[in-house]
Amino acid sequence: MLMAEWLDLFSEAVIYLPYYRSLDDKAYDYSGKENHAVVTGASRVAGVFDEAISFDGLNDYYAVPHHPTLNTPDAFTLCTWGADGIIFQKGLSTDRGFLFQRHAVTDEIRVYLAKSNPAAWDWNRRSSITVPDANWHYYVARFNETNLDILIDNNLRNGVLTGVAPFSMRTNARAFEAGRDQQPLGTYRQSYMDETMFFPSYLSNAKLTQLFNRKAAV
């Protein structure tokens, strides 16, 4: 793919974190939206492209402060290379949040969405396969008003879907976080992540293939 095509695709993102372009306390956003991540305790390890970010599962995490560009009420796509565990969250089940994680017990990849439910997440998709190994994989959560998808290594892995679609929900003022669960706060996850991207749209299969195939291009 031509560099101009890469730049066009990356420009659609509202968060683009290539972690090797980071300082100890900050991971810089290269989407052009300046949604930089404030890093607490994480370290650097060898990743898919260069250096990746590592969370120890004890007290490491990062937070991208809330900005209006992170409100994605109708659709979003979250993509990341990950090894071991992954966990991303913005908001809670009580305030129109979402959670994307590799479950600590079952090794399923799960994505949860909420409108405003004090008791539970409104929509919950589980992957059709588990990921029990610690190898690098490409994980995608993708949502629009009628679809909630999980892709692993560019393959659709939709398993059980429960609940009712919570339309127009992700408009909370909380930070976008990785490495820990905001509900309950203080639940951390050992994980490794490389090149995380967040889009305010439901990316097509063709665009996701372009992103996945970047690994072969470097």
pLDDT in tens, 80-112: 999 988 899 988 777 778 889 998 888 899 998
- Which pLDDT value is given to residue 6? 65
- Which pLDDT value is given to residue 7? 67
- Which pLDDT value is given to residue 125? 87
- Which pLDDT value is given to residue 181? 83
**Residue ranges covered by each domain of the chain:** 3-217
- Which pLDDT value is given to residue 57? 87
Structural contact between residues 152 and 209, judged by C-beta atoms closer than 8 angstroms: no
- Which pLDDT value is given to residue 184? 66
- Which pLDDT value is given to residue 117? 57
Low-confidence ranges of the chain (pLDDT < 70): 1-7, 23, 73, 115-120, 165-171, 184-186, 216-218
pLDDT in tens, 40-65: 989 888 899 888 999 998 899 999 99
Structural contact between residues 211 and 197, judged by C-beta atoms closer than 8 angstroms: yes
Crossing angle of helices 3-10 and 205-212, rounded to 10°: 120
- Which pLDDT value is given to residue 1? 47
Q: How far apart are CA 193 and CA 179, in angstroms?
A: 9
Q: How far apart are CA 206 and CA 131, in angstroms?
A: 24
Q: pTM of this prediction?
A: 0.91
- Which pLDDT value is given to residue 173? 83
- Which pLDDT value is given to residue 2? 47
- Which pLDDT value is given to residue 71? 84
SS in 3 state form for the chain? CCHHHHHHHHCCCCEEECCCCEECCEECCCCCCCCCEEEECCEEEECCCCEEEEEECCCCEEEECCCHHHCCCCCEEEEEEEEEECEEEECCCCCCCEEEEECCCCCEEEEEECCCCCCCCCEEEEEEEECCCCCCEEEEEEECCCCEEEEECCEECEEEEEECCCCCCCCCCCCEEECEEECCEEEECEEEEEEEEEECCCCCHHHHHHHHCHHHHC
- Which pLDDT value is given to residue 3? 53
Question: What's the CATH number for 3-217?
Answer: 2.60.120.200
